């Protein structure tokens, strides 16, 4: 067996093309420019790189990108004041806090301060709770939401399937488990301390891996014909690697999201879809 690779690039482009049209039409009719504010504290290279990627995506769909960069020695109070100002600003429709943050900064306190209606990252507890309860409106973190869009586009059947999510982060593992549960999968959340993790993984019709360890999941962890979603992005001497040993897994799986090129392109496209919803809510459309 050789897996069908689920390429996120064409679907990402389609989503972004649609959003460009929608943003332009609503901006013209309302006279209000859609704006995403991105707050970064310090000079972490990965955060700066992510900010540049978001800026390019914004430019491609006609969204104003507003960078707010504070010095690495900014105090908790200064960062919280910046968030409060952006929350109040009616010209800002979406707000993101980039990580990592400097050690002295309490990131959870910052997240708790976000206006949930501008939380296009879906990290505020209110959005997480509404996702859990399926009580709209709410925002879903873009990476798992993008994975679901990609699987739906590929015609994956969810109802009644056994799904295993390896990883329990608030921005990937937990929301992905909820999205699968809402589609009537039977869901197991596993992690690095799960007893006999390979056996648990082999039970999955849909296996989602978000554990942050390059090539941890091997071919013999995979149920023949399973759908495998690899969220991993670890830079190694051999290049960017996912959490799955791709060549091995591809020999067993029925479908596989490759790294790079699978979920990665979907994330910022779905982020723009979240911003579209926030923009419409803000201007009462």
Domain of residue 103, residue span: 31-116
pLDDT, residue 284, reads 87
Q: What is the pTM of this model?
A: 0.95
With beta carbons less than 8 A apart as the criterion, state whether 82 and 66 touch: no
What are 144-174's pLDDT values in tens digits? 999 999 999 999 999 999 999 999 999 999 9
**Does any domain span residue 48?**
yes
The sheet that has 35-41: what strands, in order across it? 64-70, 35-41, 94-97
If asked whether residues 149 and 105 sit together in one domain, one would say no
If asked whether residues 157 and 259 sit together in one domain, one would say yes
Tell me the pLDDT band of 32, cut-offs 50, 70 and 90.
very high
**Does any domain span residue 67?**
yes
If asked whether residues 183 and 234 sit together in one domain, one would say yes
Q: Largest Cα–Cα distance of the chain, in whole Å?
A: 57
Q: What is the CA radius of gyration of the chain?
A: 19
pLDDT, residue 143, reads 97
Give the phi and the psi of residue 251 in degrees, each rounded to 5: -75, -15
pLDDT at 234 over 80: yes
Euclidean distance between CA atoms 3 and 24, whole angstroms: 39
Using a 10 angstrom Cβ sphere, with 0-12 exposed, 13-18 middle and 19 or more buried, the burial of residue 235 is: exposed
If asked whether residues 151 and 234 sit together in one domain, one would say yes
**Does any domain span residue 25?**
no
234-236 and 239-241: which strand pairing? Answer: antiparallel
List CB contacts of 200: < 8 A, sequence separation 6 or more.
164, 188, 190, 194
If asked whether residues 260 and 147 sit together in one domain, one would say yes
**Does any domain span residue 201?**
yes
If asked whether residues 181 and 258 sit together in one domain, one would say yes
What are 177-210's pLDDT values in tens digits? 999 999 999 999 999 899 999 999 999 999 999 9
Euclidean distance between CA atoms 80 and 104, whole angstroms: 13
Euclidean distance between CA atoms 140 and 13, whole angstroms: 20
Q: Which of 145, 102, 105 is nearest to 121 (CA)?
A: 145
What are 89-134's pLDDT values in tens digits? 999 999 999 999 999 999 999 999 999 999 999 999 999 999 999 9
Q: How many domains does the chain have?
A: 2
**Does any domain span residue 278?**
no
If asked whether residues 104 and 213 sit together in one domain, one would say no
pLDDT, residue 1, reads 60
Average of per-residue pLDDT across 44-59: 95
If asked whether residues 103 and 163 sit together in one domain, one would say no
Tell me the pLDDT band of 265, cut-offs 50, 70 and 90.
very high
Euclidean distance between CA atoms 25 and 218, whole angstroms: 47
Euclidean distance between CA atoms 58 and 86, whole angstroms: 18
**Does any domain span residue 4?**
no
List the CATH number of the domain containing 216. 3.40.50.720
Average of per-residue pLDDT across 207-223: 97
With beta carbons less than 8 A apart as the criterion, state whether 282 and 93 touch: yes
Three-state DSSP class for 186? strand
- Percentage of the chain surpassing pLDDT 90? 98
If asked whether residues 248 and 186 sit together in one domain, one would say yes
If asked whether residues 231 and 149 sit together in one domain, one would say yes
If asked whether residues 151 and 102 sit together in one domain, one would say no
If asked whether residues 104 and 164 sit together in one domain, one would say no
**Does any domain span residue 23?**
no
Euclidean distance between CA atoms 122 and 145, whole angstroms: 10
List the CATH number of the domain containing 96. 3.40.50.10860
Distance in Å from the first CA to the final CA of the chain? 49
**Does any domain span residue 98?**
yes
Q: What is the mean pLDDT of the chain?
A: 97
CA distances from residue 76 to 68, 83, 95, 141, 168 in whole angstroms, order as listed: 15, 11, 18, 25, 27
Three-state DSSP class for 230? strand
């Amino acid at each position: 067996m050789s897996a069908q690779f689920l390429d996120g690039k064409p679907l990402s482009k389609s989503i972004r093309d649609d959003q460009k049209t929608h943003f332009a039409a609503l901006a013209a009719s309302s006279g209000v420019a859609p704006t995403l504010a991105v707050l970064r504290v310090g000079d972490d290279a990965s955060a700066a790189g992510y900010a540049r990627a978001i800026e390019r995506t914004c430019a491609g769909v006609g969204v104003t990108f507003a960078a707010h960069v504070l010095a690495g020695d900014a105090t908790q109070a200064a960062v919280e004041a910046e968030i409060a100002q952006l929350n109040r600003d009616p010209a800002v429709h979406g707000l993101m806090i980039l990580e990592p943050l400097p050690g002295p900064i309490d990131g959870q306190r910052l997240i708790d301060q976000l206006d949930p209606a501008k939380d296009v990252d879906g990290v505020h507890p209110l959005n997480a709770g509404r996702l859990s309860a399926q009580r709209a409106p709410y925002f879903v973190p873009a990476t798992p939401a993008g994975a679901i869009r990609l699987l739906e586009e590929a015609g994956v059947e969810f109802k009644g399937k056994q799904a295993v999510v390896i990883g329990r982060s608030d921005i990937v593992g937990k929301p992905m488990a909820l999205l699968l549960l809402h589609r009537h999968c039977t869901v197991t959340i596993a992690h690095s301390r799960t007893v006999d993790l390979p056996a648990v993984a082999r039970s999955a019709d849909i296996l989602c891996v978000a554990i942050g360890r390059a090539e941890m999941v091997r071919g013999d962890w995979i149920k023949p014909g399973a759908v495998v979603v690899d969220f991993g992005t670890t830079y190694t001497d051999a290049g960017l690697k996912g959490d799955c040993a791709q060549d091995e897994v591809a020999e067993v799986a029925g479908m596989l999201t490759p790294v790079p090129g699978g979920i990665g392109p979907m994330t910022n496209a779905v982020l723009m879809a979240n911003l579209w919803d926030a923009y419409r809510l803000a201007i009462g459309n």
